[in-house]
């Protein structure tokens, strides 16, 4: 669907201005969209996950621990697939699924979720380098997006999401190093061409959401705060966008319809997409993949 076709369907949550702005810039920040009731419940559940991590054998591989993680001071960089827990899945089907329908069209499938943390005292860099999401999970078209929900107040100090406006309409980048090893971020020579001065930072009080287009170039700085920053990310695709690689993201809710109907036809965008490596044997997280590039607490942003 083109933006015009999507806009021809009545909005569920967003204003016309917000929808148009997303199509033009590739991102959106909606402050305090999520109720305190939801945020409190999500924070309670998240605290349980952190507590459980202290003695977890990580059988399912859902925890990605920072190098300085220990039972006394748990340092989880990411909890993968929180949607496999009932509360997060109900949240993924609530108002943010309406937001996704406002931006993707009435028929929407769920792709995956993750809970990204930045901790105050981690020795590991918790920056996320400049990257695009769609080369992690190519689809037949680019109506794919991710919605981040801040579970706590997130200021510049906590390392909020940053996006380069309009980059979703620009080129796609290979996210490998010079030895063709996947890094999950742009090559240094490609980063050097980015207009990072134009990057928009998206801080927000708890309950705010960020939306970024799957082609949008985005990153986040390391936290310099004494507060933990949990960011719950849910990714959705238009139902007529079909993944054509084996991602590591295939969990039980993968490709479930969250709004509207399944597609009867696939839509193919002619613009090609670089491919990720074969992750059918497993996938850790962007932090683990980008780790090899870091030699200090400051990412090359």
Ligand X SMILES: O=C(O)CCC(=O)C(=O)O
Rounded distance, CA 293 to CA 290, Å?
A: 6
Per-residue binder mask for ligand X (CB under 6 A), 229-268, x = binder: --x-x-----------------------------------
Considering only 112, 191, 213, 218, the residue that binds ligand X (CB under 6 A) is 218
Question: Could you give the C-alpha distances from 131 to 3, 112, 172, in angstroms and in order?
Answer: 23, 18, 9
Based on CB atoms, which residue is closest to ligand X, 74 or 184?
184
Per-residue binder mask for ligand X (CB under 6 A), 58-97, x = binder: ----------------------------------------
Tokens at residue 196, please? 């990072």
Per-residue binder mask for ligand X (CB under 6 A), 108-147, x = binder: --------x-----------x----x--------------
* Phi, then psi, of 262 in degrees rounded to 5: -65, 155
Considering only 220, 225, 238, 290, the residue that binds ligand X (CB under 6 A) is 220
Q: Is 30 a residue that touches ligand X (CB under 6 A)?
A: no
Please list, in sequence order, all residues whose beta carbon lies within 8 angstroms of the beta carbon of residue 284, skipping any fewer than 6 positions away.
61, 64, 248
Based on CB atoms, which residue is closest to ligand X, 113 or 238?
113
Q: Is 161 a residue that touches ligand X (CB under 6 A)?
A: yes
Q: Do the Cβ atoms of 177 and 183 come closer than 8 Å?
A: yes
Q: Is 199 a residue that touches ligand X (CB under 6 A)?
A: no
180: left (phi over 0), alpha (psi -120 to 50) or beta: left
For residue 8, how many other CB atoms are within 10 A of its CB? 10
Q: Which residues bind ligand X (CB under 6 A)?
A: 116, 128, 133, 161, 218, 220, 231, 233, 286
């Amino acid at each position: 669907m083109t933006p015009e076709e999507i806009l021809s369907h009545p909005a569920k949550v967003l204003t016309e201005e917000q929808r148009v702005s997303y199509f033009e810039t590739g991102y959106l920040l909606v402050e305090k969209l999520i109720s305190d009731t939801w945020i409190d419940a999500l924070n309670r559940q998240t605290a349980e996950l952190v507590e459980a991590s202290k003695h977890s054998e990580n059988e399912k591989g859902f925890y990605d621990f920072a190098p300085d993680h220990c039972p006394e001071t748990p340092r989880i960089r990411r909890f993968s697939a929180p949607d496999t827990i009932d509360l997060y899945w109900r949240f993924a089907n609530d108002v943010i699924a309406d937001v996704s329908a406002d931006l993707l069209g009435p028929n929407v499938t769920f792709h995956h979720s993750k809970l990204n943390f930045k901790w105050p005292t981690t020795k590991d860099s918790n920056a996320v380098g400049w990257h695009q999401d769609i080369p992690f999970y190519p689809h037949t078209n680019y109506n794919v997006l991710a919605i981040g929900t801040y579970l706590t107040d997130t200021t510049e100090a906590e390392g909020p999401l940053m996006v380069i406006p309009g980059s979703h309409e620009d080129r796609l980048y290979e996210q490998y190093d010079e030895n063709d090893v996947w890094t999950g971020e742009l090559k240094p020579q490609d980063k050097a061409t980015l207009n990072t001065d134009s990057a928009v930072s998206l801080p927000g009080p708890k309950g705010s959401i960020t939306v970024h287009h799957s082609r949008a170039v985005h990153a986040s700085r390391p936290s310099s705060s004494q507060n933990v920053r949990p960011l719950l990310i849910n990714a959705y695709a238009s139902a007529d966008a079909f993944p054509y690689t084996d991602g590591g993201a295939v969990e039980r809710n993968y490709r479930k319809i969250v709004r509207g109907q399944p597609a009867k036809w696939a839509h193919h965008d002619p613009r090609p997409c670089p491919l990720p490596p074969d992750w059918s044997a497993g996938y850790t997280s962007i932090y683990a993949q980008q780790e090899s590039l870091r030699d200090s607490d400051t990412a090359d942003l």
